[in-house]
Each structure stands twice: as C-alpha cells, then as structure tokens.
Structure 1
Amino acid sequence: MDDLSGAPPALLDFDSALPLTAKGPRAWESQVDKRYWNAIGPWGGWTIALLLKAVLAEPDHNGTPVAMTANLMGGLDETPLTVTTRPARQGRSMEFWTSELGQGEGVAAMAMVTLGHRRDTLSAHEAQMPLVAAPETLEVPERRGGLAFGGMFDFLPAGGATILQENASTETLTWVRDGQGRALDYPLLAALADVFAPRIFYREPVRRPVSTVSMSVYFHATPAELAAVGGDFVLAQAQARRFEAGFFDQTGTLWSRDGVLLATTEQLCWFK
C-alpha cells in the first residue's frame, strides 16, 4: 500500500549516519554516529564517506568520483563536526576538490577528491576476479562481539588467511554488503574500501593499536555498474606487502559478483 501521509521516507542507516546540514557557503555541519564506531573513534570508512558526500552535495560539482586520497590526522569524539569543501580546479574533463573535516579548533581529516566526466572509450579488464564460491553457498558466521561498525554490514568469508593467527600471507577474500541491502553508490563504495581488518592482525595472534594514516581509493565503476550491483554482495580482496618500523601498507580490490572491478585501494597504517 502506498504511503499517503506525505512523510518523507525513512533513511537507511548508512544515510542517516552521514548527516550534512548547510552551515554556510561550502560549509556543512555533521555528527559522529556511534553505530559506525571503531575501537576508540569512528571507523575510517565512515570518515572518508562523509568527506566524499560533502563534495557531492555541492550543487556546482560536475562529474563522478574517479579518485580520492584522504589523510586521517586525528581522533574524533561526539561533539559537532564541520566539513568544508573547496574546488581547487574545475575543468571541462576533470575537477579537483578538497574536503576538510574539523572538530573544535583542529583539523581531523582531509581529502583530495577527483571527479571526472566519463566517456565512451576503450574498455578492458586486465585484472581478474578471484575464483570463489557464490555468497548464497557460504555459511553465515556467528557474530561474537566485535567493533560496532562491523554489525552494520553482512560479511561472508570466502577464503584466505585467518585473523589473529600466524599466516604466511595476509590475503583475505570476503563477500560484504550493507546490512540493510542499501544500493551501492560512490560514498558506500568509498566506505567499503576500508572494510578490511588491518593486515597486522593476520601476521600474529596479537591485537595491537592500529590506525590508518593515509588512504587512496580509485573508483573504476561507472554509475551504471553501481546500479547493476544494487544492494548485492561485493567481493572484498585485501593483502599487505610489508610491515616495518611501525608502519604497514595494505591493498584492496572490490568486485561485483559478475567480475566487474569496482574499486581499488591503497592504505598506509601505523601500528604499535
């Protein structure tokens, strides 16, 4: 039955957790959502999704996201946030925006967001999606505690290393989707690029303090490819390359179930 009350439709959790209220020209107010909390602050995927969403909320932005690099520079608490944006350069083919997240008098995170005008050109896949079982054939793991943001997604391990064990390789393969089946778009795709557990947890059975320092996401998916995914699972593949002197890197790829490469990501993390 149609809703004739005139009330706006209820926002899905991911959308309601990324509030943006116009504060002035290129300035937005927001608030941390504890549903997407990590160990001692908001999950990094929430932060980069908010930085991207603010750029896409600007009425004069043009194009769709093709890349973003974010630096996460400080912790956040539950006091109000301000997001400010600035178009560093707007051209006919590409736009470059900055997006800065502040709390109190300090800057906690900032990103460079690149928008592009996608055109009909050569299309080819060199990368190949790993062969894994379909999500419908996998057993749903029992959730035992864990971080708050993990409860907002459905995870189905599909192969690779086991967390908190000594593994020769840190590669993992996991089907993941929004817990409410929210349709995939660029902010959600950005968030999913940070859905991987830190690779240090796959090298030894020790929980260490870890934080993301810098993270880049490359958005390969076209709007039509995102629409084709809808609220379905995507395959998240991640692996580290080196751990040294308190830092490690990790790479990730996100695939649709029909083998379309949706996004790739690089991340540098600090650990103690």
Structure 2
Amino acid sequence: MSFDEDIALDADGNGAIADGWMTARGPHGGYVMAILAQAMERAAGRQARSLTVHFLRPPAIGPVQTQVTVERAGRSMSTVTGRLEQDGKPVALGLGAYAGAYDAPDVGELPMPDVPPPSAEQEPLPGAPPFTHQMIMQPRFGAAPFTGADASVVGGWIGFRDGRPLDGPAMCVMADGYYPAIWPRLTALHPAPTIDLTVHFRAPLPVTGPLLARFTSKLARDGYFEEDGELWTADGTLVAQSRQLALLLPALG
C-alpha cells in the first residue's frame, strides 16, 4: 500500500494503523503522528507551522479514530487540537498552529552541511524495520548503531522511494525517520520509544525529496534523552526542525 493509503481517513476521521510500519515497540512514531497530522491539517485548512504530539501508548494494527477541534480560527492563524484513539483509549494527543507566510524580514541562516548528493542506490539499511523498504535512507552522518562511538549524531538523505511530495503528514515521518541519535554511543540495542515529538515547518509545503536530515542528542539521563533534527531540501532550504523526548529502555537480551 502507498503512504497515502496508510494514513487515509474517511469523512468521520476513521482510519487504520497499517501493518507495514511496525517496529519492536509498536508502530513507527512519525507514522502515528502523520495520521493525526492528516486530520488536524484537514480541519485547519492551512499549512502546519508547529505541531506537537504526545504518544500515550503504542496502538495495534487495526482501526483508529481521530477527533479534532479547531480551538481558534483567526484571520492569519488557526490553533487546532487533535486526539487519536483505538478501542476507546487515547493513543496520541496533538496541538498545532496552522498559518501561511507573513510579510516579514528573513534574519539568520542555517546552512545545509556539505555532503555527497543522494545516489541511485536504494537498498534499505541493514537490520532496519520493514517500513524502511518504502523509503530512501542513505546515511551521511555518524557511526553505525551500537558501536560505542563518541558522538550522538545520525542522518543522511531521506524520502519516499516513489517520489511522493513531502507535505505536513509526510514531514512527520521524515522528522522521525532515522534510528535514534543516541544509538551510535551505545554497544547494545536499547529500545527508544518517543514520548513527544514537535515539528516546526520552516518553508512552504509540499517539497520534493529526498531531504538531508541530521539528528543530534546531547544528554541521556534517568532513562530519557532528547533529540534535535534539521531537514533541508536538496537546494539547501531548511524545511523543518524537530525536537523529541524519548525513553531509553534497558538493553534487549
């Protein structure tokens, strides 16, 4: 199935968790966020500028329901809340700001790192979960997971293999697309489910992929770590920034 089919909602906000997005700890967090983002953007009728989603529990494969409220629809910006449920239980809660561009000066820059361009090679990353088979993932930053490296940085080129344009829901997947930035520092697999993920959309959408994504982490403490992301289009436009807080669970095995 296509990504659009996997996040599809009917007129009443009903959809389903598809089986192609599972990880060891349930469905991919960015994918779950994309379903709720789809419902919230549809209600707002505007592009997302900021979207935060808290993940309450991992859903199972099967039907889900979205509930969306436009808390305020101003002339320039709308504020929207959303709720994703399964079997009557909350799965994810969202809060988003939706607006167009303002007539204001551009100040500062965040230049794209100089890395080799994406190649024609489309093989999935070794050991990656099945959902990566529908994605372009070509590493350009950081060491391999669980190698005891001295830096918490990962990333590279990312997009959909079918060339689907990257809109708001798709950007949620891209912002959570790589394995956790903390994993290269470790020497064993520690599951890292997301607690909350915020995406700031910094350019008009949709854009054409693949994007260059870089994710970093500074501190893991008490079983939690943060991760910051930056995503650029191939022409060097910063299109999104992200931050998430995630758990760092005991090593498997």
Shorter-chain TM-score: which interval? Answer: over 0.9
Q: TM-score with structure 2 length normalisation?
A: 0.92
List structure 1 runs of 4+ shifted beyond 6 angstroms: none
Q: Tell me if 1:18 matches 2:7.
A: yes
> 5+ residue gaps in structure 1?
1-11
Alignment RMSD: 1.7
CA distance in 2 between partners of 1:236 and 1:216 (Å) = 15
CA distance in 2 between partners of 1:268 and 1:235 (Å) = 21
Q: Tell me if 1:47 matches 2:22.
A: no
- The structure that has the greater radius of gyration is 1
Number of equivalences: 249
Q: Quick one: which of 176, 179, 196 aligns to 1:197?
A: 179
Q: Quick one: which of 145, 151, 154 aligns to 2:133?
A: 151
1:125 CA displacement: 4.3
Task: Indicate if the aligned counterparts of 2:18 and 2:62 stay in contact, CA closer than 8 A.
Answer: no
Note the 1:84-163 alignment, pairs <5 A. Answer: 84-136=67-119, 143-163=125-145
1:140 CA displacement: 5.1
1:9 corresponds in structure 2 to: none
Q: TM-score with structure 1 length normalisation?
A: 0.86
CA distance in 1 between partners of 2:85 and 2:216 (Å) = 31
1:51 CA displacement: 0.9
> 5+ residue gaps in structure 2?
none
1:31 corresponds in structure 2 to: 16
Where 1:67 maps in the other structure, the secondary structure is: strand
Where 1:50 maps in the other structure, the secondary structure is: helix
Q: Quick one: which of 219, 226, 229 aligns to 1:249?
A: 226
Q: Deviations over 1:169-214 (max 9, x none)?
A: 1112310110211111111112211112112311112111221001
Q: Tell me if 1:262 matches 2:239.
A: yes
1:56 corresponds in structure 2 to: 41
CA distance in 2 between partners of 1:200 and 1:194 (Å) = 13
Q: Quick one: which of 217, 226, 236 aligns to 1:240?
A: 217
CA distance in 2 between partners of 1:145 and 1:211 (Å) = 18
Q: Deviations over 1:32-79 (max 9, x none)?
A: 111122223211111111111001223xx2431100111001011123
Q: Tell me if 1:83 matches 2:66.
A: yes
Greater shift in the superposed pair: 183-192 or 212-221: 183-192
CA distance in 2 between partners of 1:139 and 1:53 (Å) = 30
1:144 CA displacement: 3.6
Same amino acid, percent of matched pairs? 26
